[in-house]
Every structure is written in structure tokens, then in C-alpha cells.
Structure 1
Amino acid sequence: MTPAIARARRLVVKIGSALLVDRATGLRADWLRGLAEDVAAMKARKADVVLVSSGSIALGRAVLGLPDGALTLEQSQAAAAVGQIRLARAYEEVLAPHGITTAQILVTLEDTEDRRRYLNSRATLQTLLGLGAVPIVNENDTVATDEIRFGDNDRLAAQIAVTVGADQLVLLSDVDGFYSANPKQDATARRFDLIEDITPEIEAMAGDPVSGLSKGGMKTKLLAARTAVRGGCSMAITEGSVLRPLRALEDGAPCTWFLAQGDPQVARKRWIAAMKEKGMIRIDAGAEAALRQGRSLLPAGVVAVSGSFGRGDPVAILGAGGDALGKGLARYTAAEAQAIAGRRSAEIEAVLGYPGRAALVHRDDMVL
């Protein structure tokens, strides 16, 4: 079945700088207010929404009076530092009248590649969504250098979609979908309404960014689609300059949907199951029963810990009889887990000397 934005349970929307900022006039306030109406409509349907937004450098360079053309790394980071404040304030001002609380999340590529940082980011985002807030996510351009950059917010948006378990991702772009060739150069180019499998033929149509033949950044969008669909998230590319872009998509605006490969939760469980464990946690009969009921693993139910693992590392979970129950991502190091084994969650701070998370392995990070 072709995805429909009206059915989204958790939606991530990527917004490019060109949609948000006009170089001559600055922030496109009317467009941003229209987007806020779309977000409010999605929230009214009980859908969670995350916005991945560019625009901080574009806003900041104007304020600082930086010249047109390429900026040095230091100039870009200075512009981002100034512009990010204005970007966050702009979103807060348009969403607040709808009763929507906004939050700012700044990340780098390292934050998603390092498991400890990944789990921290995931926990923060999940908590914000659970509280009804709309996170505004952007790359942390003030500190990111080339070796720790996503490089584009298409890839960042796909990674965020997988991190929060979104079922739909929408890339608001300057093109209305994925074409067989560059439609500006080839009158016979056709747009795909639905792509169920990213084949080598589809990849070839995206062009080669190294040679400069990429069609409007389509290569990066295809990389984003691959990440999203493997994580159980369908992705749409659609033209975003209209005043109500999400409503336009819902009303049938031209687009290309990339079909998800399964459910976000199933995809995440499959990812965890494929990891090689770095330690073992043995639990008692009560904790085993709780896990089978879909609950998290608390320190109180742990009877033994072995191996050498850090926060975010995969660990095997054994039942009271020593049989393998499953696998999960630890929220504590091996040493910390040994120290709090058998303790109630309220005792963790007293034992470790600092506060910690209630669960040793959260149910969302566990597969049985």
C-alpha cells in the first residue's frame, strides 16, 4: 500500500535552507507559519512530529554581514552560532500560538555513530516526543568539522527518523520527486510515484556527485532513502515551496515515495539481534517474567554480570536457568552493572555516587 501522510504515527520532516531563508529578504515568515499550521494539524491527529531544519548559517551570515559565496570554516561556524538562536526562536514563535512546545537538538555525525551518544540522543528525543514537544534538529555546525559532519540534512533526517522509530520521513525539496534523469536537461525524464526497491538501476539514475552530475542533490536523497527504508520508515521527496507543503502532499501533490522494508520496531530489533554481544547479564525468575511481559530490565532482577562492555554495547541476557533469553543494549558499563546488580532503581545514585537511568536495559533496546 502506498504510504499516506495522513496515516503517519511519527513523522520527520526535513526543511532546507532555500525554503526557509530568502537571501534578499531573510526568513520566509509566511512559509514558516504555513508549515506550523501543517505541524499543528498532524499533532491534532495524535502524530509525533520532528523537524530537521537547515537555515542557521543562512540566517547568521546576513546578521554578521558576511559576503556572498563560499565561507571559510570559521566563518560558517560563526554564522551558525548567530543564526541558530534566530532559527530556534522563529520556530518557537510560529508553533507557540498552536500550543506546541519546541525543543532544540544539535547533533554531529559522531553522536549517531557512538552508541553511548546515540542512546542518549534517542532517550532525549523519545522523552520530548512523549511529552508532546516538537524537537527542532540541526547539525551542530558550530563545532562540526569535515570529519564529523553529516554534510547534508537529508542524511541527518534519515538517521533521526531511524533513531526515533518514525514510520514516515518527508524531504521538502526544490524538486517534486525522483526522476529517471534530470528533468531540467531531459524532456523525456519521468518521475517515479513509488519505489519499492532501490536497485542499481535506480542508483545510476541519481547521478554521481563526485563528477558533478548529481541532479539537485538526488544522490544524497537516495542515500537518505536507503537508511530510512532499512529502518522501517517510508520516505517521500516532494516540492516544498508552497505555503502548506504537508497539506499539499496530503492532497495529492506530486512526489516520490520510497517504501519501508517492514515496521520501525521490527527493523530496530533485527539490528540489535545482529550485533555481537560484549558481555552477559543473568537475571532471576521474576525479571524473566517481567521481560516476557514487555517490560524493561531493572537492576533489581540481575544476579550476575560478566564480560567487558560499555554503555550502549550489546549484551546477552540469560534467564534464571542459564538459558538465552535475548539481547539488548546496556545503559551502564560492566563495572556499573556489577555494582548495582540486585539493587532497586532508587538506590542507584547512592551506590554509584551519581544519578543514573532506572533501567539497565530498556525494552526498546532489547530483543527476546
Structure 2
Amino acid sequence: MQRIVVKIGSSSLTSDEGGLNRSKVNFFASELAALHASGAQVLLVTSGAVAAGFRQIGYTTRPKLLHEKQAAAAVGQALLMRAYQEAFGAQQIGAAQILLTRSDFSNRQRIQNAQMTVEELLKQGIIPIINENDTVSVDELKFGDNDTLSALVANLVRATGLIIITDTDGLYTADPRNNPDAVRIERVQEINEDIIAGAGGSGSLVGTGGMRSKVEAARIAMRGGVPAFVGRVLEPGDLDMASQGQGRGTYFDTQLHSLSTKKQWLGFHSTPSGKVCVDAGAEQALLAGGKSLLPVGVREVDGDFHAGDVIEVYNLHGQLVGRGVVNYSADQMRNVAGLSTDEVQKRIEVPRIEVIHRDEWISLK
């Protein structure tokens, strides 16, 4: 059975001036209902609370101050859910609201509870409607117009696909708005720096995301074993076509398998306490050899971490390689970095010789 997470941004749901466009909401509800009727389990990650509420609260333009955005979201979220409830009700489908923050993902018990709630809703044929809890989120911890949130949700529920709806028909080699030679990229097998650089910035005054945040979200989904699609849904049947591999956009393929909840927490939700830099041999062993990280491969140590903390691992070029649970404190690590196993055992006593055991590691490169 297909399990598809669909993400719809603010610009797809509202007018240019702000406020909900009910005809757009009804259109997307009908598209999601058709997908639901085909037998797929459907989850919706939606933006639009701030955009829906800021005019209702009395602001003439989208607010920029945090407390103003939170007030607009408090009004707009109720309007947004009422619109969805009515639109899905017309399709004889129930809808449920789930509000999440980054801290929910960081707390393993809270996110497992959210996961169980989603599973029960899907079992009962209800469409979960997921949004960021804008009224309590702070800017430095926000998801970025919910693109990242949609990828994290797709990984969490082990979706068979992630569909990110945007106002352009996929990723191009350059910005098609000002470069007539830009060519659409049909499929992406690997997201490298060229792909990221070509994604550019935000293209909407109503939303806060852009193609770059959508490509970053696709990267997160791919790492979790979830293929992604970024593109347009404008006409009836477009969403079904996107789910069948015939959509108007770019497909991001992956050969990886879904991640366990523990690996998801390690890779995307944990808070690193420090970092180490490793040499090329250690990087190769971690990425391709399925090996643990040993002290001999460590070149630099940064931060004040303790055994059991999560740390990031970088290569000699400053690129992030991955994350893992460290078995050494920072002081111990500085003491034995670059030493062989025999030399380490002569200097200090640690429960495990590995800096990071392969079972406590996730690659992010």
C-alpha cells in the first residue's frame, strides 16, 4: 500500500495579498481525496496559518516580528483547519490536526506518541493534517515553510513517497524566470553541491520556503529511504500523476532503506555536543566500509562533550560526514586522537575502544 506525504505551502493556498483562497483549498482537498480513494494512505503537511490569519488580526502585510507572527498563526490555524475540515467533509473524509515543533522530534517519547497517533488515524481512514506549531516555535528552530517538516514526517511514518507541491514545475539548471537556457532536471540520483547551488532562494513573498529548502527536504527524505517529488499540481489528476511517476516536476530517487526511529533521531533530531575531524581513511571506513570510528582516524576535536553525547564527524575538507554517539569525553578524545588502539589502551580506560560504534552511527554525506 502506498503511504504518501503531501506538502502544500502558503503560496499554494493563499492569495498574493494574504488570506486563504477557498477555491485552492477545495482543489487540493479534492486531489488528496482522489488519492485517498485510490487506496493510498495520505498525510498532509500544510503551511498557511500565518498567511491565513494576518489580515484577520488586522495587519496590512505579513508580519515580521515573532510575536506578531505567532498571533497571526493563532488566528490563522483555526481558519486553516476549518477550511480543510469543510473541504474534506464535502468529500466524505475525516481530517485531524497535529501540530509539531522541532523539540517534539528531539524528544523520543513525544515523537513516538505522535507516530502512534498518526498510525491510528490512518488505520481509521482519517487524513492527518500536520503543521508546525507556530504559536510556540522560535525562529531559529523553525522548519522553513514546513519543507523540512514534511521530510521528517515522511521518514517518521516510513512513507513510500513525499510530494512537495510548489509553484514551479521542478528543479532547473538555472532560474527559469530570468534564464531562457534553463533546463528542467527530470530525475536526481544524488544531491551534490551543484544541485544545491542551482536551487537558489525563496520565490514567494507569501511563503518562507524556496527551491533550496525543498531540495534540502528531498535530501533528508532520500537519506531516510523515501523518494521525493518536487513540482506543480495545477489540474485535476496532477497529484495522482505525481504519485505514479508522471508528474510535472523533478523526482529525487533513493536506493536507501527506511531508517529506524533511533537512526532518525541520531541523524535529524538529536543536538550534537561537539565534533571531530577525521582523516580520509576513517571517512572511507565510515561511509563505505560499515566500520566503527577508531581513535587513530581522528585529527581534531572541538567542543565539550561527554561519553554518551551525540557528536558530528567532519572530513578534512570541512564536510559533514555523519553523526554518532561518542564513547569518549572531549578531554579523553584530545588525549588519544591519532593513536593506535594499543597506545590508547595504555593511556586511558574506556568501556569501548571505538570512538563511535557503527551501531550508534548514521552517515549524512
Establish whether TM, by shorter chain, passes 0.5.
yes
Question: Which secondary structure state, in structure 1, belongs to the residue aligned with residue 195 of structure 2?
Answer: helix
* Aligned equivalents of 1:32, 1:273: Cα separation in 2: 33
* Structure 1 residues 224 and 204: CA distance shift in structure 2, 3 A: same
* Structure 1 residues 23 and 118: CA distance shift in structure 2, 3 A: same
* Structure 1 residues 244 and 52: CA distance shift in structure 2, 3 A: same
* Structure 1 residues 227 and 274: CA distance shift in structure 2, 3 A: closer
1:161 and 1:169 in contact (8 A); partners too: yes
Aligned to 1:75: 68
Aligned to 1:37: 30
2:132 and 2:146 in contact (8 A); partners too: yes
Give aligned-pair identity as a percent. Answer: 38
* Structure 1 residues 272 and 160: CA distance shift in structure 2, 3 A: closer
Moved over 6 A (4+): 272-275
Question: Which secondary structure state, in structure 2, belongs to the residue aligned with residue 192 of structure 1?
Answer: coil
Aligned to 1:258: 252
Instruction: Tell me by how many angstroms 1:201 deviates.
Output: 2.6
Residue 12 in 1 paired to residue 5 in 2? yes
Instruction: Tell me by how many angstroms 1:184 deviates.
Output: 1.3
* Aligned equivalents of 1:194, 1:240: Cα separation in 2: 18
Counterpart among 114, 125, 130 of residue 123 in structure 2:
130
* Structure 1 residues 145 and 91: CA distance shift in structure 2, 3 A: same
1:231 and 1:261 in contact (8 A); partners too: no
Q: Deviations over 1:36-75 (max 9, x none)?
A: 2222221122211111111111111111111215431111
Counterpart among 184, 201, 220 of residue 194 in structure 2:
201
* Aligned equivalents of 1:69, 1:127: Cα separation in 2: 36
* Aligned equivalents of 1:179, 1:64: Cα separation in 2: 38
* Aligned equivalents of 2:132, 2:187: Cα separation in 1: 29
* Structure 1 residues 147 and 117: CA distance shift in structure 2, 3 A: farther
* Structure 1 residues 251 and 29: CA distance shift in structure 2, 3 A: farther
Residue 271 in 1 paired to residue 271 in 2? no
Counterpart among 79, 86, 92 of residue 99 in structure 1:
92
Aligned to 1:228: 221
Aligned to 1:217: 210
Tell which deviates more after alignment, 131-140 or 193-202: 193-202
Equivalent AA in structure 2 for residue 9 of structure 1 = Q
* Structure 1 residues 244 and 59: CA distance shift in structure 2, 3 A: farther
Instruction: Tell me by how many angstroms 1:185 deviates.
Output: 2.0
Equivalent AA in structure 1 for residue 224 of structure 2 = G
Question: Which secondary structure state, in structure 2, belongs to the residue aligned with residue 271 of structure 1?
Answer: helix
Equivalent AA in structure 2 for residue 76 of structure 1 = K
Aligned to 2:59: 66
Residue 155 in 1 paired to residue 171 in 2? no
* Structure 1 residues 253 and 270: CA distance shift in structure 2, 3 A: same
* Aligned equivalents of 2:63, 2:20: Cα separation in 1: 20
* Structure 1 residues 230 and 261: CA distance shift in structure 2, 3 A: farther
1:154 and 1:224 in contact (8 A); partners too: yes
* Aligned equivalents of 1:241, 1:27: Cα separation in 2: 17
* Aligned equivalents of 1:63, 1:110: Cα separation in 2: 29
Q: Deviations over 1:137-158 (max 9, x none)?
A: 1110001112332232111111
Instruction: Tell me by how many angstroms 1:221 deviates.
Output: 1.1
Cα RMSD after superposing both structures: 2.7
2:239 and 2:247 in contact (8 A); partners too: no
Equivalent AA in structure 2 for residue 158 of structure 1 = A
* Aligned equivalents of 1:58, 1:68: Cα separation in 2: 9
Tell which deviates more after alignment, 67-76 or 241-250: 241-250
Question: Which secondary structure state, in structure 1, belongs to the residue aligned with residue 260 of structure 2?
Answer: helix
Aligned to 1:54: 47
Q: Deviations over 1:193-223 (max 9, x none)?
A: 11111123322322478xxxxxx72221111
* Aligned equivalents of 1:120, 1:187: Cα separation in 2: 49
Equivalent AA in structure 2 for residue 236 of structure 1 = F
* Structure 1 residues 80 and 273: CA distance shift in structure 2, 3 A: closer
1:9 and 1:47 in contact (8 A); partners too: yes
Q: Deviations over 1:167-190 (max 9, x none)?
A: 111111011101111111221111
1:61 and 1:79 in contact (8 A); partners too: yes
* Aligned equivalents of 2:264, 2:50: Cα separation in 1: 36
Aligned to 2:103: 110
What stretches of structure 2 of length at least 5 have no aligned partner?
203-208, 268-365
User: How many correspondences in the alignment?
Assistant: 262
* Aligned equivalents of 2:20, 2:97: Cα separation in 1: 18
* Aligned equivalents of 2:266, 2:72: Cα separation in 1: 42
